[in-house]
Amino acid sequence: MISFSSTWMLVMIPAVILLATAVLFGSRHHGSLRHLTWRWNLLFIVAALGFLSFYTLQTYQQQFHRRTEQIEQEFLQQARDQVRQRASFVHDLILDEKKGSEQQLKQSLRQTVLQAVHLAETLIARYQNQMDSVELTRLVVESLRPLRYRNGRGYLFATRLDGTELLFADHPEYEGRNMVDMQDQDGVFYVREMIRLSRQKGEGFVSYRISQPGDTGWHHKKIAYIHYVPELKAFIGTGEYLQSFEREVQQKIIDKLDRLVGEGPLSIFGASYEGTSLFGPAKGKNVLNVQDNNGIFVVHELIRTAKKGGGFVRYEMPDSLGKGHYEKISYCLPLEMWNCYVGAGIDLSFVHQNIACARQALMTSLRSQIAQGALFIVVLGFILWAVGQRLSRSIKDNVTVLNRALETVAGDGREVELDDVKFDEFIAIGQAANRMLEQRRIAEDELNDTRLRFRTALERAPLMVALVDPQRYILFSNSMWNDAVPMDVCAAHLEAHWFSEASWVKFDTAFDQMVKGRLQQERFDICLKNVQGEKRYYDMALATIQNADGENSSILVMARDITERRQAEERLTWLAHYDALTGLAHRNYAKEQLEQMLTGEVADDLWLLMFDINRFKRINEVYGHAMGDFVLKELAQRLQSLQPSPRISARLSSNEFIIVISLPDDESIDETVERFKAVLCAPLQCNDNRLVVDTRISGVCCHQVEDAAELLHRADVALREVKEGRHTQGFMVYDERLDQIYQENELLEKALRLALQSPEQFQLHFQPIWSLNPQHLKGFEALVRWQHPTFGLISPARFIPLAEQRALIVPLGQIIFKRACETLAQWLKRYPTVQQGMVRLSVNMAPQQFVTENFIEEIEATLELWSLPPEILCIEITETSLMEDPELAIQRIRALKEMGIAISIDDFGTGYSSLSYLQQFDVDIIKLDRSLVVNIAETHSAQRIIDAVVRLGHDLDLTIVAEGVETFDQLQQLRKLNCDAIQGYLTGKPCPIEGVHDWLSAPEKFPLSRLD
């Protein structure tokens, strides 16, 4: 088959190539379409039939090979299946035979014991009235002793339930001994097991190791059956040695398998792992080292495969293992109980004979199919030849008709008549000619319409449009161009004076490049003068227009007015760098300017000043944001007017500014700042409002810093010190120690924020307030202490101001108030003094907490939570917080008074001290600040101030409490001035809750009674 196909290809390919060459070279000159069609038909027929023949032969050949391989695989698989089935049959037969033999053994043992039991029962029934139990037992034992079976290996034994051996035929020396503790080599107490079976079931099988007749060793495995005899109070049993039994069973099975080994291609075999053949070829011989002709140790391979769980082994059968030399495939399985393997094999020469027969039948069938295909190809060739001849004649007739019709079209332009044309292709040619005529007429009409639409589109386009020739004469321009460009309509030529100088250079260069063909299009922004002489900005685009020869015949110029956009971009660029309200640079642009400044050489006298408007938020709240904006713009103008003129001026945030100046030679920084401050803080007049603003200033020497961010940071740190009131002059120069203070404050702020999440760090101490007339305990003031787990006890003077500055005083105040109410609730349950309302607890309220929206609701909710009467609570408010927003303060105080809570003005005398508001606020208590009390014994002015406050307070029915009383002289002076109550270290230091017990238990015991 393969040789025939290759020969066919070697003949067909050259033949087709020669035929194609003849056809192609024969058609190079003009000739008849009919002859040309005939030649191509011949080439097609020969090529088609040739390739069809080749394809058919190739297909049959591939099918033959695939089917042959399939048959080989099927026969080999059948052989494998037969071998595996026969090996599994042998393996299962051995297991079944062994299992059956074991069952027969157990049945034989049981039958033997039951016969002995029957003999014993018969003797007992016959002689039990004639003998005592001892004699009767001896009679039964002696009757059973001589009984032997299985070639003398089998004997009977009898044992009492207490373990005493009555009968032991193989070892009579053990009779009369107690065997209950007898243990074999595996640790089995087999006598105990027999006793257990006798008591629980009356019978059963037991496996153990013991001696064998003729052998003194006790390692022989044995299976025994016992049966309990109640009359003897003992069990009788017998057993079989398994090793001897298994040898007999193995020999029995091997003999049976030998009978199954027969002649034919299929065989069975078995051998030990030591190489000794058990059955099958070379039975009884050691074939471990037998090799086939390929050098393979056949038995080694079979053993290795069996130990892996079984499988196939293919080899050539050695002469020493069988009759003759042949290829064989075997399947083997392990048989661990005999330490051997079993298997089956088949002679592959028998399989190859079957494959050869099947292949011969397939070849016969294939030859028949090839003959039928050849006949079909011959018939098909004749049919194609006839069809080709008919097609050639038809083509000739249709070409003649079409030629006549086309000559008519060429003569007078009429459409081609196609009634006599039969071929669709020639009809399509005629229809194409007709369409070409129609499309030419349509194209002419569309060309005229396109010209009109193009001109109209350019005229009405929302762009300036002009068409310019290479000599720069304007061939066409729309109305927008004519209205915008100051050109002479009669001499329409591009002029340089229309453009700005830079724009003309760009336009002229691009135009020349496009005329020379180096550019096809270009776009740029230019500046033109319009008819009115104004400068306008345009987005202009140029594009080349080519003629039919591909040459640039004209340039299309289009422009769009972008003047407004250009102005907007310039405005956005300005806004990106400057503040819209003040006209100063904003933060980012200022940082860029500072970075640029610091990259060069920085003079020693170059300073950065940072300004902040004091209480600017208050200006917005009171006068409105319009006034705030006016203040910012006015301050920006004043900054820019300072002398020397600032090198850099910027607005960093809402009311924060910076300037960079060179310090005058004859001034220090303090003198310059003082002069600037006089200019900046001058009164402002806006409509009817006259404002006086105050600024806080910080300064940093630029020479000391190399980074803009660090420069601003230092100025900000110094300004924060000024804001927090640690420098009353309103100006501070940066010092490195400020960074340490700043970092300490930042660290303390973080710790405070964490502490607010763990309120147990805050503890309340209580300082007593004593009435002077009569002398008794009037109340306590709750004072907060912060016990930090790491920093220890932190002074209120350290963290209270920080909490106010960092907006943490409100949550801190809420914690203090809730803790104070909780403590007051405990006192209310324990002390009669509190229950009778004789003692009040005063709690300080920060200004920020006092003005919160839900302040009153929080007070009410806390009192309700702890079921507190409001009369035993006093809220202390600083006079500064009252004057921040007097109207709101009056509303809040009125609400608290309606609830029954007492109101105290704390630190009176340190703030506004507006006595006119006292009556409006409707407070209950005035607490004189310790700054007034500390000098009362030495200065008359302090005495006169306190005297005036006490008199006014008494006129308004207010209670006057003096804070910070530390000496007896101060106490005496306050008594003379009729002060109502005192608070201070003299009468009691702040103490934790455990220290108030004595005071609340004896409120009438004035601590200074002994001095009176």
Query: pLDDT, tens digit, for every residue of 599-643?
Result: 888 888 899 999 988 888 888 877 888 888 888 888 989 888 888
Contact predicate 241/229, CB 8 Å: no
The CA-based angle 836-837-839, given to 5 degrees, is 115
Distance CA 982, CA 765 (A): 17
Which residue type sits at 756? L
Residue 648 CA: distances (Å) to CA of 595, 657, 715: 12, 11, 15
What mean pLDDT comes out for the span 300-329?
A: 81
Confidence bin at 8 (pLDDT 50/70/90): low
* Helices and strands, counts by H and E, the chain: 29, 31
Distance CA 570, CA 852 (A): 46
Distance CA 970, CA 986 (A): 10
Does residue 774 have a cis bond before it (omega within 30 degrees)? yes
Residue 737 token pair: 């120690």
Distance CA 516, CA 300 (A): 93
Of 777 and 52, the structure prediction assigns the larger pLDDT to: 777
> Which of 715, 720, 697 is CA-nearest to residue 639?
697
Distance CA 843, CA 877 (A): 9
Contact predicate 1011/991, CB 8 Å: no
Distance CA 835, CA 21 (A): 131
- Assess whether pLDDT exceeds 90 at residue 449: no
The CA-based angle 390-396-402, given to 5 degrees, is 135
Distance CA 286, CA 325 (A): 19
656-701 per-position pLDDT tens digit? 999 999 988 888 888 888 888 888 888 888 877 788 888 899 899 8
How far the first Cα of the chain sits from its last, in Å, is: 144
Radius of gyration of the chain (CA): 63
Range scoring the smallest mean pLDDT among 179-193, 721-735, 759-773, 806-820: 721-735
Residue 335 token pair: 């048989």
What are residue 700's DSSP bridge partners? Answer: 608
- Tell me the three state secondary structure of residue 946: helix
- Tell me the three state secondary structure of residue 156: strand
Residue 31 token pair: 């000739």
Distance CA 749, CA 770 (A): 36
- Assess whether pLDDT exceeds 90 at residue 237: yes
Contact predicate 621/851, CB 8 Å: no
Place of tokens 């069973």: 249
Contact predicate 327/349, CB 8 Å: yes
Residue 915 token pair: 């006595």
Residue 75 token pair: 């026969």
What mean pLDDT comes out for the span 374-398?
A: 72
Which residue type sits at 670? D
Distance CA 425, CA 436 (A): 16
Distance CA 162, CA 183 (A): 16
Kindly state the DSSP code that residue 337 receives in the 8-state scheme: G
Note the pLDDT of residue 413.
55
Note the pLDDT of residue 420.
60
Which residue type sits at 664? P
Distance CA 355, CA 359 (A): 6
| 748 contacts: CB under 8 Å, gap ≥ 6 | 794, 798, 799, 802
Range scoring the smallest mean pLDDT among 188-192, 531-535, 994-998: 531-535
The CA-based angle 956-962-968, given to 5 degrees, is 135
Strand 981-983, strand 959-963: pairing = parallel
Note the pLDDT of residue 3.
43
Note the pLDDT of residue 490.
53
* Most confident region among 332-336, 544-548, 876-880, 938-942 by mean pLDDT: 332-336
Residue ranges of E strands in 247-401: 266-272, 277-279, 311-317, 326-335, 340-347
Distance CA 341, CA 91 (A): 9
844-867 per-position pLDDT tens digit? 999 888 888 899 999 999 999 999
Q: What are phi and psi of 339, to 5 degrees?
A: 60, 50
- pTM of the shown model: 0.41
Residue-by-residue DSSP string for 870-927: GGGEEEEEEHHHHHHSHHHHHHHHHHHHHHT-EEEEEEETSS---GGGHHHHT-SEEE
| 1012 contacts: CB under 8 Å, gap ≥ 6 | 1006
Domains within the chain, CATH numbers bracketed: 103-246 (3.30.450.20), 461-567 (3.30.450.20), 577-734 (3.30.70.270), 759-1005 (3.20.20.450)
642-653 per-position pLDDT tens digit? 888 898 999 988
Range scoring the smallest mean pLDDT among 220-229, 542-551, 751-760, 940-949: 542-551
925-980 per-position pLDDT tens digit? 999 988 888 888 777 888 888 898 899 889 888 999 999 999 999 999 999 999 99
Q: What are phi and psi of 313, to 5 degrees?
A: -135, 125
Residue 544 token pair: 């080349």
Tell me the residue length of the chain: 1012
Residue 991 token pair: 């103490």
> Which of 654, 576, 617, 649 is CA-nearest to residue 885?
617
- Tell me the three state secondary structure of residue 240: strand
CA 1005 and chain centroid, separation: 71
Contact predicate 409/415, CB 8 Å: yes
792-840 per-position pLDDT tens digit? 888 888 888 888 877 888 999 999 999 999 999 999 999 999 999 899 9
Note the pLDDT of residue 1.
45
Range scoring the smallest mean pLDDT among 70-79, 188-197, 406-415, 592-601: 406-415
- Tell me the three state secondary structure of residue 513: helix
Contact predicate 163/178, CB 8 Å: yes
Q: What are phi and psi of 207, to 5 degrees?
A: -110, 140
